Structure 1
Amino acid sequence: MAEHAPVVSLAGRRVLVTGGARGLGAAFVKALVEAGAQVAFGDVLADEGRALAAQLAQAGHAAHFVALDLADPASVAAFVEQGAAALGGIDGLINNAAITNSGGRL
């Protein structure tokens, strides 16, 4: 985690992040929680997602991980429903996930 004060405050904002388990998505999740946002993030890479949520919790930041498979419409709907329930609503979305062959499940 960075040791600097956030440039902006997102305190009270509730944000969903797709593709948040690693890479750019994980950087979004970390930046959001460091700025005070409540975050729920999803990814097909469930082990990595749970590990990031645990890492953030150890650093004093809560982020909710929800398994997400973009190839399954029911999974997408469940992600939004569970994320909104965990956060008490949604103020923003970072739609970072993609269906690729670069290391995800497909």
Structure 2
Amino acid sequence: MSKSAAQLDLEKPLESALLLSLCGVGCIVLHQWHSSLQQNTRTMLNVLDNLLRVRQTSGQTVHALRRGDDQVLRSDSEGDDARHKTTLAPAAFNCIVYGLPNLIVA
């Protein structure tokens, strides 16, 4: 079954955010690109946990994704000084906020 042009447009994050904001939605959290079902589930659980349990704003929630479980620590060992560099997985930058980053779910 093929999708219509309107359905394909809704799959684009920027167009979806524009349409939702025109309808009155104040804060939209969307993915920028495709990710796996497991990554989507992990992201959704982290977002909901930070919004509802930790009571962070939507901007803080998305920022927490960039600091969270998606970090891979690698050591750069030169001599006795082992320095740890934080390398973020690309999935950490997939989720973005359109609209108001100070929204708190009551």
Quickly name the TM-score band, shorter chain normalised: under 0.3
TM-score by length of 2: 0.27
Task: Decide which structure has greater helix share.
Answer: 2
TM-score (norm 1): 0.27
